[in-house]
Amino acid sequence: MGHTHVRVKVIDPSTSQTEETELLVDTGSTYTWIAKSLLQKLDIKPKTEWAFKTVDGRLVKREIGEAVVECTGERATTMIVFAEESDANVLGVHALEGLRLEVDSTTKQLKRVEALLAI
C-alpha cells in the first residue's frame, strides 16, 4: 500500500500569515504533527503539553496548539502537535475530518467526503 503526501497551507489564525508544507496523510494519527520550527516561524504559540505513546511504546511529551489548515481548497481549524526534528510531519484524522476529506483507497489521493456521519 502506497503513501499519500499532500501540500498543506498552515495559517496562523490570529495574523493570517501562511506557510506551505508537505505532510504525510496518516489515518492512524489522531492529530496533525507539524515541525515546531515552521509553527514558530508563523508565531503560533503552544497552548499546553500532552503525552503521546509512540508506535514502539515510548511516551513523549509535545506542545499542542491550534492552527488553520488548508488542503485541496478546504479550510479548518485543528489541533496541531509541535513536532520535533525526529518526529514525522503528518496530517491526522482530526484535521481530515474537519476538512471533510478522506483517502480514496483506489487512487491513494484525498477526496471530499460526500456526507458526514450523523448520529
Q: How far apart are alpha carbons 118 and 45 in whole angstroms?
A: 33
Give the largest CA-CA distance in the chain: 40
Q: What is the CATH number of domain 5-112?
A: 2.40.70.10
Task: Please report the pLDDT score of residue 55 as a whole number.
Answer: 84
What are the 10-residue block averages of pLDDT along the chain, 119 residues in total? 88 95 95 97 96 92 98 96 96 96 91 82
pTM: 0.92
List the domain boundaries for the chain. 5-112
Under 8 Å between Cβ of 36 and 104? no
Burial 44-61 (b: 16+ CB within 10 A, else e): bebeeeeebeeeeeeeee
In the numeric block, the cell 509512540 is attached to 54
Task: Please report the pLDDT score of residue 31 as a whole number.
Answer: 97
Task: Please report the pLDDT score of residue 116 as a whole number.
Answer: 74
Query: Between the CA of residue 42 and those of 12, 39, 99, 109, 114, what are the distances in Å?
Result: 6, 5, 21, 28, 33
Task: Please report the pLDDT score of residue 118 as a whole number.
Answer: 79
